[in-house]
Structure 1
């Protein structure tokens, strides 16, 4: 029988769960079970999604009017954000090679800016936050961000 090894974040979660007891596990289970079922039939969430769509439309119109090109970011790749701090990375074996689920498309963004000059992504990101970070409400395991890059730009 093959040995199953847990991701370090899972091991850390189990350690945290043991120290926090059943109350902590119940809180986590409650938060996770509500994530998607909250959206059903609640007009408040319909309004949230409409605001999200309106904001994304405005961002796209603003950037497009200034000559930026929207590109689709990679979902899996051989490299992701080299500067990610604290959060784990999701990786999978795909056709005999290891690929990472994007935690940031920064490397790809910089390469494409060299080709097209002014680009942007609306990119999904996944980060396996440590359990103690994930429970604060300040860290999301999955989120979207707008990545903008200009070839040769300087912050000075």
Structure 2
């Protein structure tokens, strides 16, 4: 409790600036993060993706599958949510272009105890991608190529920085190992994600999550209704989850059924459901990769707040 109370105090802005000036980590992290952004954009554009501007506020946003505080704005009698992720907007966007991506700011007001994970910020950016008429395995294959491409570029251009922070970093080899959540739980128990990450030296995929462990938009496996056609990428060496995605539900009746199963109110998704009911949604798949978490993994940092200027970690109040 004492730690939480100390952490929850406002951090002096002058001390923050002093830290930026005295700790070379911030200088180096910005260089590496800039390369991640540039290489990712280059990789996707070369493969025919179109970049869209992020959605900052909307009448609908990701409900998420864990407890976060909602941030909302009342504007002329209408309610807008600050984006927790662009998942629902991505499904609509591929009706305009088949392959889209966006560097999307997300606001997730996590509980302060999440600070100790080393992986959580309340204000972060993820690279969102979505492709029409694609399957889960095709997205996973694409992301393996992207991760390899980015890490190769970083190692070629900034080997001196990597040697200083994360000398064991290596270019992963394809294909990444896959393991179902059911199998992982059998092998490692409830802390399967943490233990898988700590015991791995290569990124790996967690697949086939139980239906109640994820959101309503993740597609049910037609061959096994208890699981979803989704995935998480787990970074090795204890750095944990870095990508989440899968195939999407797009049929109106199925979406309604899934929303009710999750206990979410249909009224919260009125605009989205209208689009689905008219039959506009099409089969798609995609994912989001956290830029700060990717930076943290590449540099081997102890906390994700060190990956960006003006980072806001749960329970810490700063400029």
TM, length-normalised to structure 1: 0.76
Counterparts of 2:21 and 2:34, CA distance in 1:
18
CA contact (8 A) 1:91 1:100 kept: yes
* Structure 2 gap ranges (5+): 138-319
Counterparts of 2:49 and 2:115, CA distance in 1:
34
CA contact (8 A) 2:4 2:112 kept: no
Corresponding position of 1:145:
126
CA contact (8 A) 2:99 2:132 kept: yes
Corresponding position of 2:98:
117
Instruction: Give me the CA root mean square deviation.
Output: 2.2
1:26 aligns with 2:9: no
Corresponding position of 2:111:
130
- Per-residue CA shift, 1:42-86, capped at 9, x if unaligned? 433121111101110000000000000010111011011133421
- Per-residue CA shift, 1:113-155, capped at 9, x if unaligned? 1210000011010101122224543321111101110011111
When residues 93 and 40 of structure 1 are mapped into structure 2, their CA distance, relative to the original with a 3 A threshold, is farther
CA contact (8 A) 1:28 1:135 kept: no
Q: Say which structure, 1 or 2, has more relative contact order (CA 8 Å, 6+ apart).
A: 2
1:75 aligns with 2:56: yes
CA contact (8 A) 2:52 2:102 kept: yes
Equivalent residue of 1:122, what SS?
A: strand
TM, length-normalised to structure 2: 0.39
Figure out how many residues of one structure are paired with residues of the other and give that number: 135
